[in-house]
Amino acid sequence: MEQDAIETIYLDHAATTPLDPRVVEAMLPYLRDHFGNPSSIYGLGRATRAAIDRAREEVAQALGARPTEIIFTSGGTESDNTAIRGVAMARRADGNHIITAATEHHAVLHACAWLEPLGFETTVLPVDRDGRVDPDEVERAIRPTTTLITLMYANNEIGTIQPLADIGRIARARGVTFHTDAVQAGGALPIDVDALGADLLSLSAHKFYGPKGVGVLYARRGTPLLPQQPGGGQERGRRSGTENTAGIVGLATALTLAVGSLESDARHYGRLRDRLYDGLLAQVPDVTLNGHPTERLPNNLNVSFRGVEGESLLLNLDMHGIAASSGSACTAGSLDPSHVLTAIGLPRELAQGSLRLSVGRGTTDEQADRVLGVLPATVAKLRNLAAV
């Protein structure tokens, strides 16, 4: 096979991460040999059941939860849907009102919207310029009919961390179930379900060096939850379907590894993120940071370059082997800024010129410097072209 001429500098870890080789090793026996259905009573089935039980204990331990509170799903999207639709429907007799925020992932916003034709109402709270929700506003939005608050731990585009513990306390005091989408926080921030005050919490393995297509929904004991995928009754009836044994083993291994190296990973990410940002500030005029300056994910840098189109920037970076992401998507020939950048009040021009660089375990100083050797000149070139 032909080799790639240039090594890819992967700066899109918020989109997905590569599999950790230790995770691959842990998964292989369940892809190769241990193929039994975990619900079967013979030895082959018992072996896979035991692996899932161990994985459940590991995940519970990592989150400060009980094993019975862990539900394995197909990823972040399913965990969010199971939580939001499951609680809304299970608590229907208590009310029909949900509170969320404008910068949530579409898995959350669309799950709330899906409920509306069924008689549910959603309050979508605004965020400030840094992307933070005001806990007082959450409290003011609570109605006698509010059954669920769903707010993310950290934002996937701009990295802003929400004041979750404060919101968790408000929810608890008012008898409202509290769900958090912690998909981007997995492997980057400490996650303890009690410290966060979460009744439900979503995670996805592919964001922390685990496999794609497998996730977790933590559901605190006693949380009302109507199953969204009825069937054979797996996961204590809360999520039916034959378990993805290898994926579950991979998720648990990846999460345990991520918790073990959380502090050193976060230091590594923060250092490289700051190196990139400082380098850009020094070399590029008119660059602004999107998201909160300090309350942000250590691996996330989101900046806007005035006078530059994000998609053109991405294509140019790709030619230099740099994989990154932008906050605008090209639809029908026009560049639509993302709902997140719109929600923080970014003017269209700046939203269109946004770039997200998300660093990872494999990112090096040398890679950061190579990006800094390319990006300023690329921005200058695109600005010149735009001027013409």
Cβ within 8 Å of residue 230, ≥6 positions away: 240
Nearer to ligand PLP, 12 or 69 (CB): 12
By CB under 6 A, tell whether 184 contacts ligand PLP: yes
HSE (side-chain half, CA atoms, 13 Å) at 345: 7
Which has the closest alpha carbon to 214: 78, 85, 80, 36?
A: 78
Tell me the backbone φ, ψ of residue 49, rounded to 5 degrees. Answer: -60, -45
By CB under 6 A, tell whether 203 contacts ligand PLP: no
Minimum Å gap between C-beta 50 and ligand PLP is: 26
Nearer to ligand PLP, 76 or 86 (CB): 76
86-145 residues near ligand PLP, rule: CB under 6 A = 105, 107
Taken in order 169, 170, 173, 178, is the CA torsion positive or negative? negative
Q: Which stretch binds ligand PLP (CB under 6 A): 38-46, 74-82, 158-166, 312-320?
A: 74-82
Cα torsion at 178, 104, 78, 237 (round to 10°)? 10
Tell me the backbone φ, ψ of residue 315, rounded to 5 degrees. Answer: -65, -40
Nearer to ligand PLP, 100 or 156 (CB): 156
Q: Which stretch binds ligand PLP (CB under 6 A): 58-66, 71-79, 268-276, 316-324?
A: 71-79
Choose, from 330, 377, 385, 386, the residue flagged as catalytic: 330
Q: How far apart are the first and last CA of the chain?
A: 42
The pair of three-digit structure tokens given for residue 388, joined into one six-digit string: 């013409």
Interacting residue with ligand PLP among 152, 198, 219, 317 (CB under 6 A): 152
Minimum Å gap between C-beta 80 and ligand PLP is: 6
By CB under 6 A, tell whether 75 contacts ligand PLP: yes
Nearer to ligand PLP, 183 or 301 (CB): 183
Which position has the token pair 């892809």?
31
By CB under 6 A, tell whether 12 contacts ligand PLP: no
Which strands form 200-204's sheet, in the order they lie side by side? 70-73, 215-219, 200-204, 177-181, 146-150, 97-101, 121-125
By CB under 6 A, tell whether 204 contacts ligand PLP: yes
293-312 residues near ligand PLP, rule: CB under 6 A = none
**Closest CB to ligand PLP belongs to which residue?**
76
CA-atom Rg of the chain in angstroms: 22
| DSSP-derived secondary structure letter, 185 | T
By CB under 6 A, tell whether 183 contacts ligand PLP: yes
By CB under 6 A, tell whether 162 contacts ligand PLP: no
Nearer to ligand PLP, 228 or 316 (CB): 228
Interacting residue with ligand PLP among 76, 168, 197, 353 (CB under 6 A): 76
Minimum Å gap between C-beta 107 and ligand PLP is: 5
Kind of pairing between the strands at 200-204 and 177-181: parallel
Q: Please classify residue 3 by burial: count the beta carbons closer than 10 Å to its beta carbon, then call 0-12 exposed, 13-18 middle and 19+ buried.
A: exposed
By CB under 6 A, tell whether 59 contacts ligand PLP: no
Q: Is 330 a catalytic residue?
A: yes
Count the Cβ atoms, other than its own, within 10 Å of residue 173: 11
Nearer to ligand PLP, 77 or 146 (CB): 77
Q: Residues in the site for ligand PLP, rule: CB under 6 A?
A: 75-77, 80, 105, 107, 152, 156, 181, 183-184, 204, 215
Which residues are catalytically annotated? 330
